[in-house]
Amino acid sequence: MRLAVVIALWLSQCLYAFAQTVQPQGALAQMPVKELVVFKDGHAYVLHEGDMPTDERGRVVLDYLPTPILGTFWAYSASSQVKLQAVVAGQRRVDLKHTALSLREMLEANVGARVVITEIAGTKHTGTILSVPFRSPEELEATSPPNTGDKLPQKGNILLLKTEEGTRAMNLDRVLDVVFLGECATLGTEWEFRNLLTLHLNWGNRQPQRTARVGMMYVQKGVRWIPQYRLVLDGKGNVRLYLQASLINELTDFSNATVNLVVGVPSFAYQSTPDPISLQQTFAQLSPYFRSDAGRMLSNAIMTQAPAPAGGFAEATPPPAPQDVGPEVFGAGTSEDLFVFTVKGVSLRKGERMTLPVSDYTLKYQDVYTLYVPPLVSVGTVVTSEPRTGEVQSALSAPKVTHKVRLVNTTEHPFTTAPVLLFSGDTVLAQDTMLYTPQKGTVDIPIGTAVNIPVKQTDRETRREAKAITVSGVDYTLVEMEGTLTLTNYSDKAVSLEVVRLVMGEVLSTSPQAEVSRLTMQGPPITFPDRRGYVSGDLNPLSQVMWKLALQPGKSADLKCAWRSYIR
């Protein structure tokens, strides 16, 4: 029995000594972020670079694994005398110092200390902590099947306490209280698995240094910027346009970094596939700000980046240490089809948001009043118990004149798709969307409905001819229509009006003279979604009629248009 106790004591001491010789698995650190290129859709090109500590083999070991898009991860050595041989990502066991938070951890951290231990039953034992035995990773790996990977220590539930009577093996679950008779340590060693990124460096014939300047770059979703405009009108034809950026960071901490805010979005063909270096099969879950369908109007994709037309009628409706003084806007530059605002000295932790001014401009503006009248579409008869419901619905659906502010982009920067808040002096007028506008382009920003310029629409059929034409054995009826738009200016100033009316068919005449254009492409007859049975294509092109006029105070204008269409 005495021999067994001696062997057990010797084995526990050996295991303890062996555990104490386990060295850390490298210099764990996060490489600082030097620069970011941030796109409005949430993707960011991230550049890390810095002097990083090396381990005993001259390698740089990082405990930060990005989750880049497939094919966008690149690492490098910033020193001409040190060559990067390979980058390895994998799960490795590391031993780290932790503050003891339990009796077990306190006992493990104070092997060799004199203590008085009280058990649950009230029995006290005085002695020296010999060890808290465990099976080491090396022992487990030696007894495990080959290629089963690293192991974490297997901890037992026994405390070995050397007393005057001998070595006492105590059940840790029965320990109620511990009194240290001298100094006690509060830091212990714990083992855990971590995903590590190891940069293998070739130092040539040189002795590996304690640090190496290395870097890595990749594209990952997790940082986005949302542009915002503020438009201040002075009522005299001048406007002050301010641009600010809301920066959302859900990727990684960065301090004093250069951030490039990009107008436009490049194409990432593999944006849904993570690179194998990340050890991830799927991308990390981000907040709704990074959903592909969130803020689609602000994404600067191909459709929303289409320049706004001069008259605003290409579409029926627009698409919806030292004292820290903050980051400094350094300048702006162009890069192929993208435009970049550069901001220096930006510091933002993961999970934080930031709003910062980017630029401001002084421009000229023009008040314009526009009216858009869609093609006639029969909506059928509304059955209701309220006799005035039809009148109310008719009034709500009637065309209305919209007051807009027209800007010509005379700045050196394009306007990007973004929310815009309009002010007249200090008074808020409205909020709408600024459309992408290139240099020298024109954009219209709606303020609201011009209630002082009512519109009356009158349409009537002037002629009908049955079986006027036969196409592929189908007879079509010819219908000739005449429509009148009456606009009255009840405001106290003259207004500049632009009126667009769309009709299904061929325009016969306009009064006063208007600009007429066809909007549909040539092609075979196609059924148009209208209960009247209109068809589009060669028979009924979609025609646009545009009037431009000045309307004096108290005056009215009648805008007439005649056209013909074929119906089934």
215 pLDDT band, cuts 50/70/90, is very high
| Size (the chain), residues | 568
> For all residues of the chain together, what is the average pLDDT?
83
pLDDT value at 525 more than 70 = no
Write out pLDDT tens, residues 66-122: 999 999 999 999 999 999 999 999 888 888 888 999 999 999 999 999 999 999 999
Query: Which segment of 51-60, 232-241, 468-477, 514-523 scores lowest on mean pLDDT?
Result: 514-523
What residue has token string 């690179």? 275
Q: Name the burial class of residue 313, with classes exposed (0-12), middle (13-18) and buried (19+) by CB atoms within 10 angstroms of its CB.
A: middle
532 pLDDT band, cuts 50/70/90, is very low
Instruction: Look at strands 211-221 and 74-77 and give their pairing.
Output: antiparallel
9 pLDDT band, cuts 50/70/90, is very low
Per-residue exposure over 98-110, b if at least 16 CB sit within 10 Å of its own CB, e if not: eebeeebbbbbbb
Beta bridge partners of 84: 201
Q: What pLDDT is stored for residue 378 in this prediction?
A: 44
535 pLDDT band, cuts 50/70/90, is low
Which H/E stretch holds residue 530? none
Q: What is the mean pLDDT of residues 37-53?
A: 94
Write out pLDDT tens, residues 172-181: 999 999 999 9
**CB contact at 8 A, 232 and 239:** yes
What is the C-alpha separation between 29 and 53, in angstroms, rounded?
8
Q: Quick one: what percent of the chain has pLDDT higher than 90?
A: 57
Q: What pLDDT is stored for residue 322 in this prediction?
A: 47
pLDDT value at 415 more than 70 = yes
Q: What pLDDT is stored for residue 394 in this prediction?
A: 57
Q: Is 9 helix (H, G, I), strand (E, B) or coil?
A: helix
Q: What pLDDT is stored for residue 522 in this prediction?
A: 47
Query: Which segment of 387-401, 405-419, 527-541 scores lowest on mean pLDDT?
Result: 527-541
**CB contact at 8 A, 485 and 459:** no
What is the C-alpha separation between 497 and 368, in angstroms, rounded?
6
Write out pLDDT tens, residues 225-249: 999 999 999 988 899 999 999 999 9
Structure tokens at 242: 């301010």
Sequence spans of domains, the chain: 2-24+97-193, 220-274+283-364, 367-567
Write out pLDDT tens, residues 483-503: 999 999 999 999 999 999 999
Instruction: Look at strands 158-163 and 74-77 and give their pairing.
Output: unpaired
Q: Quick one: what percent of the chain has pLDDT higher than 70?
A: 79
Q: What pLDDT is stored for residue 94 in this prediction?
A: 81
What is the Cα 415 distance to its own chain's centre? 19
pLDDT value at 300 more than 70 = no
> What amino acid is encoded at 327 in this protein?
P
Query: Is the Cα torsion angle 272, 273, 278, 284 positive or negative in sign?
Result: positive
Q: What string of DSSP letters covers 334-350?
A: EETTEEEEEEEEEEE-T
Q: What is the mean pLDDT of residues 443-469?
A: 94
Q: Name the burial class of residue 559, with classes exposed (0-12), middle (13-18) and buried (19+) by CB atoms within 10 angstroms of its CB.
A: buried
Q: What pLDDT is stored for residue 376 in this prediction?
A: 76
Q: What pLDDT is stored for residue 447 in this prediction?
A: 94
pTM over 0.85: no
CA distances from 253 to 36, 37, 45, 167, 181 (A): 12, 15, 14, 51, 44
Q: What pLDDT is stored for residue 188 in this prediction?
A: 86
DSSP assignment, residue 289?
G
Q: Is 273 helix (H, G, I), strand (E, B) or coil?
A: coil
Write out pLDDT tens, residues 132-174: 999 888 888 888 888 888 888 888 899 999 999 999 999 999 9
Name every residue whose Cβ is closer than 8 Å to that of residue 393 and which is 6 or more positions away in sequence: 382
More reliable by pLDDT, 314 or 97? 97
290 pLDDT band, cuts 50/70/90, is confident
Q: What pLDDT is stored for residue 382 in this prediction?
A: 42
Query: Which segment of 71-85, 265-279, 289-303 scores lowest on mean pLDDT?
Result: 289-303
HEC string of 193-238 equals EEEEEEEEEECCCCCCCCEEEEEEEEEEECEEEEEEEEEEECCCCE
What is the C-alpha separation between 497 and 176, in angstroms, rounded?
88
Q: What pLDDT is stored for residue 350 in this prediction?
A: 93
Instruction: Look at strands 33-38 and 43-53 and give their pairing.
Output: antiparallel
CATH for 2-24+97-193 is 2.30.30.100
Q: What pLDDT is stored for residue 248 in this prediction?
A: 95
pLDDT value at 329 more than 90 = no
More reliable by pLDDT, 483 or 322? 483
What residue has token string 């999970």? 351
Write out pLDDT tens, residues 14-28: 443 333 333 333 345
65 pLDDT band, cuts 50/70/90, is confident
What is the C-alpha separation between 232 and 229, in angstroms, rounded?
10
HEC string of 455-475 equals EEEEEEEEEEEEEEEEECCEE
Name every residue whose Cβ is closer than 8 Å to that of residue 271 and which is 6 or more positions away in sequence: 43, 69, 221
What is the C-alpha separation between 123 and 126, in angstroms, rounded?
10
pLDDT value at 130 more than 60 = yes
Q: What is the mean pLDDT of residues 48-72?
A: 92
Write out pLDDT tens, residues 439-451: 999 999 999 999 9
What is the C-alpha separation between 254 and 236, in angstroms, rounded?
44
Sequence-ordered strand ranges (E) for 374-473: 401-408, 418-424, 427-434, 442-449, 455-471
Q: What is the mean pLDDT of residues 320-328?
A: 52
